[in-house]
Amino acid sequence: MACNANKAPFLRSIAKRGLATNQCPRPLGQPAEVKTTVLNNKLVVATAEASLPITRVSIVFRAGSRNESYENQGAAHLLRTATNLSTKNSTAFAINRHIQQVGGSLSATSDRELVAYTVETTSDQIDTGLRYLQDLVQPAFKPWELADSVPVIKSQLASVTPQVRAVELLHKAAFRSGLGNSIYIPKFQIGKLSSESLLHYVANNFTPSRCAVVGVGIDHNTLSGFAQNLELSSESGKSDSAAYYGGDARKDTAGVISHVAVAGQGGSLINQKEALAFAVLKEAVGAPAATKRGNASGSFGKALQGAVTDAAVSFSALNASYADAGLFGFLVSTDVQHIGKAVDALTRALKSGSVSANDINRGKALLKAALLESYSTDSSLLHEIGVQGVHTKQVQNIDALLAAVDSVSQQEVQEAAKKVGSSKLSVGAVGNLANVPYASDLA
């Protein structure tokens, strides 16, 4: 069968493409204004203007790995592969063929709390994109397709970096289950999850009250009509509240490099003030060097400079805020001879519970720059409004967010630092662990 893309005259296609490139509703780099509506079924719809003639739409569900039980561990990971599988209404071949013909793309992402399906097309082809995006929320999980996905899943697991594995183990040590569930399927579950268990997981979590439909470069009324026509489950899936435990989770491997993640209790999204205070704290203590080959500006970097002087060390601050819990700490990688000194130095900085006024001011400036960038780039804006919409049922404009950051006081940031400093620590470690201290040694 001939491709429909070849039926239009070549010169007409070039003319349409040239016209599309001249239509930029929002100047590049300018933060977007966001419109938000909550439908009668509690589904959230949010839209913003695009800076490029590309339309992006995401359907976001609170269906991440924290909702898995022991029996269906890995279900959220398999949902990420659903974009390559058949649905109840379309075959995998039909979806790929039609999306490719209009020059679009379909993708899926997931984390511990959210699963998002996203379509990207030129603005004049979004109808085709929405048709197949709608299909993705009704997966079929045919057994033979699940079996064919096993090599892909094994390849994905093999490509996980040791730093990511350390953070995964950190969550396991901190929360055990729920938020402790990995975003990657356990090896013992590969090929074991049945179609029935996956469809049950979808029915419990793909519900209107746990969903947000967000778009960049699409009319708000058009997207609201699309959202109203989504066929979603009427089940009332619930997430267990997170309980923080603390402790150790370690995986010893060959080599001379160690990767260690250490964290205490952070801020939750329920308390916006506290979440913003931890966001400022992350930028304040984990600020990188302001110039190439310069010294790190934050207290984490300064602590390392005094403790490890003759080895290459990579580090970053960690701040993970979830609906009802959070983690705050650091991730560090270096050789086995120096990992103990590096972890001890960073832990002392983490537990000091003190942040200078200059660090806080710098942290606010860095956080506001990051927010401005996320609201100025279409792809990151889509992610930002999706997260806000599905968690809080509203999306704040950039001016309101910047004002909220400015309103964070020095005392609030100090209280956040004291909270993590006084909490029981969790440790996730991967690599040569001969000199890696345990959480009890860091108390």
10-residue mean pLDDT profile of the chain (443 residues): values are 41 38 57 89 92 92 94 94 90 93 94 96 94 93 94 94 97 94 95 94 93 95 94 76 92 94 94 94 83 74 81 90 94 94 93 88 93 90 94 91 94 94 94 92 82
Task: Measure the CA dihedral 101/90/214/16, to 10°.
Answer: 20
**In 372-441, at which residue ranges do the beta strands (DSSP E only) sit?**
426-431
Same domain (yes/no): 322, 402: yes
CA nearest to 85, candidates 130, 147, 128 = 147
Tell me how many degrees the CA angle 386-391-394 measures, rounded to the nearest 5. Answer: 70
3-state class of 59 per DSSP?
Answer: strand
Residue 4 counted as domain residue:
no
Same domain (yes/no): 201, 286: no
- Into how many domains does the chain fold? 2
Distance CA 401, CA 384 (A): 12
Task: Please enumerate in sequence order all residues whose Cβ is within 8 A of that of 121, keeping only pairs 6 or more positions apart, or say none.
Answer: 54, 55, 99, 102, 103, 104, 105, 128, 129
CA nearest to 118, candidates 108, 127, 110, 126 = 108
Q: How many CB atoms lie within 10 A of CB 121?
A: 23
Same domain (yes/no): 212, 253: no
Tell how many helices (H) and how many strands (E) occur in the chain.
16, 11
Distance CA 356, CA 339 (A): 27
Look at the block and give the residue holding tokens 């090929």: 191
Distance CA 366, CA 257 (A): 31
Domain boundary among 196, 228, 260: 228
User: 93: domain CATH number?
Assistant: 3.30.830.10
Residue 345 counted as domain residue:
yes
Residue 365 counted as domain residue:
yes
Distance CA 430, CA 253 (A): 7
The pLDDT of residue 294 is 67
Q: What residues form DSSP beta bridges with 440? A: none
Domain with 107 in it: 23-228
Q: What residues form DSSP beta bridges with 315? A: 332
Residue 17 counted as domain residue:
no
Whether 35 and 46 have beta carbons less than 8 Å apart is answered as yes
Look up residue 390 and give its amino acid.
Answer: V
Same domain (yes/no): 62, 100: yes
Look at the block and give the residue holding tokens 């660090």: 359
The pLDDT of residue 376 is 87
The pLDDT of residue 15 is 36
The pLDDT of residue 55 is 95
The pLDDT of residue 311 is 77
Tell me how many degrees the CA angle 436-437-439 measures, rounded to the nearest 5. Answer: 130
Same domain (yes/no): 410, 272: yes
CA nearest to 168, candidates 150, 186, 151, 155 = 186
Task: Please enumerate in sequence order all residues whose Cβ is within 8 A of that of 97, keeping only pairs 6 or more positions apart, or say none.
Answer: none
Residue 3 counted as domain residue:
no
CA 252 to chain centre: 27
Same domain (yes/no): 141, 285: no
Residue 13 counted as domain residue:
no
The pLDDT of residue 118 is 96
The pLDDT of residue 24 is 52
Look at the block and give the residue holding tokens 């001969």: 434
Domain boundary among 228, 262, 281: 228
Same domain (yes/no): 186, 311: no
The pLDDT of residue 59 is 97
Instruction: Please state the pTM of the whole predicted model.
Output: 0.89
Residue 12 counted as domain residue:
no
Same domain (yes/no): 251, 177: no
Q: What residues form DSSP beta bridges with 336? A: none
CA nearest to 117, candidates 93, 135, 143, 103 = 135
Same domain (yes/no): 196, 255: no
Pairing of strands 426-431, 314-321: unpaired
Same domain (yes/no): 354, 396: yes
Same domain (yes/no): 111, 142: yes
Look up residue 99 and give its amino acid.
Answer: I
The pLDDT of residue 4 is 45
Residue 376 counted as domain residue:
yes
Same domain (yes/no): 65, 156: yes
